């Protein structure tokens, strides 16, 4: 298996509520999605929203709501960008889990949960700045 991720699928109990949340963050839906799926093209990958019941049926196991011990992360260019994203997420209906603050490792960030309890981290990482197209690599682009 090559070292890459193309699609991140989030199981949701209410597809339209979940899509409305991401729409409220300013994200644009991909066109021509099949019924029961909403997708957002990212830089090099896609985020898909899919009914949790359908996802459990596809996989064949029970799945708890939310992300549990997994987070999705979005890196920003500045501390101010982190604050703006977190405020936008809260306004869209996110639950703020940890308000933006200086992090022990030298960055700045916070955490929120989307309406289905998927946990997002929003950070400014001075050691790994996003590239000109917002692409991210661990040690910078």
Q: Hey, is 103 helix, strand or coil?
A: coil
The structure tokens listed for 54 are 């359908």
Instruction: Give per-residue pLDDT as tens, 19-30.
Output: 999 999 999 999
Instruction: Give per-residue pLDDT as tens, 64-73.
Output: 888 767 889 9
- Taken in order of first residue, the domains within the chain and their CATH numbers are 7-59 (3.10.180.10), 71-124 (3.10.180.10)
Q: Quote the pTM value.
A: 0.86
Give the count of beta carbons closer than 10 Å to the beta carbon of residue 86: 22
| pLDDT given for residue 43 in this prediction | 82
Q: How far apart are CA 20 and CA 5, in angstroms?
A: 24
């Amino acid at each position: 298996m090559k070292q890459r991720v193309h699609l991140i699928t989030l199981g949701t109990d209410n597809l339209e509520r979940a899509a409305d949340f991401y729409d409220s963050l300013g994200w644009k839906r991909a066109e021509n999605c099949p019924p029961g799926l909403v997708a957002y093209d990212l830089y090099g990958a896609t985020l898909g929203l899919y009914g949790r019941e359908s996802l459990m049926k596809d996989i064949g196991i029970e799945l708890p709501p939310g992300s549990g011990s997994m987070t999705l992360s979005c890196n920003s260019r500045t501390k101010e960008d982190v604050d703006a994203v977190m405020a936008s997420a809260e306004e869209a209906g996110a639950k703020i889990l940890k308000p933006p603050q200086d992090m022990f490792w030298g960055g700045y960030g916070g955490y929120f949960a989307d309406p289905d309890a998927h946990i997002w981290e929003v950070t400014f990482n001075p050691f790994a700045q996003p590239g000109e197209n917002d692409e991210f690599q661990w040690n910078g682009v």
